[in-house]
Amino acid sequence: MTKLTPILAGIFSLALPVAVPAHHSFVVHYVGERIISVTGVVEEFRFRNPHGIIFVNGTSSDGNSGSWKIETNSPNILRRRGWTDKSISPGDEVIIEGYPARDGSNAMRIFRVRFADGSEMIGQRPSADNE
Amino acid sequence: MMKFFSQFLGGALLLATGPGSTVAWAQPDDFISRWSGFWSVRFDRAPSGAALLDELPDDVVLIDDAGGGELAAGEYAGLKLSDEALDAIRDYDYAEELLPENACRAPSVAFYMQAPFPMEIYAGRDLIIFRMEYFDLVRIIFMDGRAHPPADALHTLSGHSVGRWEGNALVVETTHIVPGTFMNNGFDHSADLRLIERFLVSEDGSTLSATQVYEDAATFEGRAARYMSWSKRAGEYVLSYDCDPNYGG
């Protein structure tokens, strides 16, 4: 019986619902129905799955200044739209529009980035390709 | 090249694991070229797969989040969840999703098929392989008539899949799926989940459609389903995902 207990417990636990942390959802962490913008200078650009990250020192359209952490959708999706790891560089002056974090922090998911020369790149359009 | 690869896969599988009973091979000569290749997710419901939707039983709850849609916290597509599943959701901490140790936690086949990433299919007589871009996952569909392994066999993200042909439709039954997210909002399926998929390529070969029907009495009542579509694109290929858990740190 003693030997059977852990075996039975293992089988039983497989069948029970569990709460396993998952790769984060867009809609749970960001407000998809609202777009804000951040104007500032790029400090760092990372282009790795599951998400790219743009660190910007700037001010949001809501008036929040400081360091912003702006997440892109998957670099794989963006590569097919022409993005590369050289698309954004430290020192670039940018206006980035995106979806604000639900927790109110200086973070958002990108919609698009506009550069000083007037060019722009699309990240995640409203209600599409959330990864 | 694709034909050789598919035949090789079939032979390799027979040697490695042994087939079940012999299965009649009744697919047309262009089967391999029709099914094999690069398939890009569509964000609409391809009309060519309407027959699959029509075949869904009336009592099935359709989860409308495929191709990049997502359900918010507390939304479960109208499914009636079990008390145990609701308890698990109450204990779920969304903040933990943002930790590096969870950033590259891949979902199971009950969720990853609906993600907005492409896949490559390599179709053979005895074996069909789905190479998913999302998290570099791979599915193997056994077409040689074998049965599922014993209930206590290893559970994995892709589970154990056996397929058969019903007319032009590929029907796949999958079990032995490790528990994981079902709607990416704190609601997980259990290890008892049974998955039935029906895949159909359009007459012109340009569109692949599929339904997934789920049964998991441990987490919800009745049955649920998703509908998915892909477009074939020549000359494209799946990219490595190579997830970096420290992408944001």
pLDDT 10s digits, B188-221 = 999 999 999 999 999 999 999 999 999 999 999 9
Does residue B77 belong to any structural domain of this protein? yes
How confident is the model at residue A3, as a pLDDT?
Answer: 45
Minimal Cβ distance to B133: which of A23, A29, A76 = A76
Q: Is residue B15's pLDDT more than 80?
A: no
Does residue B204 belong to any structural domain of this protein? yes
Q: Are B116 and B105 in contact (CB under 8 A)?
A: no
B43: chain A residues, CB-CB within 8 Å: 128-129
* A25–B185 C-beta distance less than 8 A: yes
Question: Which CATH number characterizes residue A49's domain?
Answer: 2.40.50.1010
Does residue A98 belong to any structural domain of this protein? yes
Side-chain-side CA neighbours of A22 within 13 Å: the count stands at: 25
Looking at the DSSP assignment, which residues form a beta bridge with residue B210? B199, B228
Minimal Cβ distance to B247: which of A16, A21, A50 = A50
Mean predicted confidence (pLDDT) in B84-105:
91
pLDDT digits (tens, 9 = 90+) for A13-51: 455 566 677 778 888 899 999 999 999 999 999 999 999
Query: Which residue of B lies nearest to A51 if distances are taken between CA atoms?
Result: B247
Q: Which candidate, B212, B187, B227, places its Cα nearest to that of B84?
A: B187
Helix (H, G, I), strand (E, B) or coil at A18: coil
Structural domain of A41: 26-122
Minimal Cβ distance to B85: which of A11, A17, A52 = A17
How confident is the model at residue B66, as a pLDDT?
Answer: 78
More confidently predicted of B21 and B48: B48
B82 at the A interface (CB within 8 A)? yes
Burial class (CB in 10 A: 0-12, 13-18, 19+), B23: middle
Q: What is the least distance, in Å, from the CA of A68 to any CA of chain B?
A: 12
Question: Which CATH number characterizes residue B41's domain?
Answer: 2.40.128.20
How confident is the model at residue B43, as a pLDDT?
Answer: 87
Count the domains in chain B: 1
CA distance B50 to B32: 23
Does residue B155 belong to any structural domain of this protein? yes
B50 at the A interface (CB within 8 A)? no
Count the domains in chain A: 1
Minimal Cβ distance to A77: which of B116, B180, B191 = B116
CA distance A19 to A26: 18
Does residue A130 belong to any structural domain of this protein? no
Q: What is the least distance, in Å, from the CA of B7 to any CA of chain A?
A: 30
Does residue A35 belong to any structural domain of this protein? yes
Structural domain of B189: 32-232
ipTM of predicted complex:
0.84
Run of H or E residues at B109: helix B109-112
A82 at the B interface (CB within 8 A)? no
Residue B149 DSSP label: P
A128: chain B residues, CB-CB within 8 Å: 43, 68, 116
How confident is the model at residue A130, as a pLDDT?
Answer: 63
Q: Is residue B169's pLDDT more than 60?
A: yes
Q: Is residue B17's pLDDT more than 50?
A: no
Query: Which residue of B lies nearest to A75 if distances are taken between CA atoms?
Result: B241
B37 at the A interface (CB within 8 A)? no
Residue B164: how many other CB atoms lie within 10 Å = 14
Does residue A21 belong to any structural domain of this protein? no
Q: Look up residue B186 and give its amino acid.
A: G
Does residue A19 belong to any structural domain of this protein? no
Q: Is residue A7's pLDDT more than 50?
A: no
Does residue B146 belong to any structural domain of this protein? yes
Mean pLDDT score of chain B:
89
* B84–A22 C-beta distance less than 8 A: no
Does residue B106 belong to any structural domain of this protein? yes
Q: Which candidate, A17, A97, A130, A71, places its Cα nearest to that of B98?
A: A71
How confident is the model at residue A45, as a pLDDT?
Answer: 98
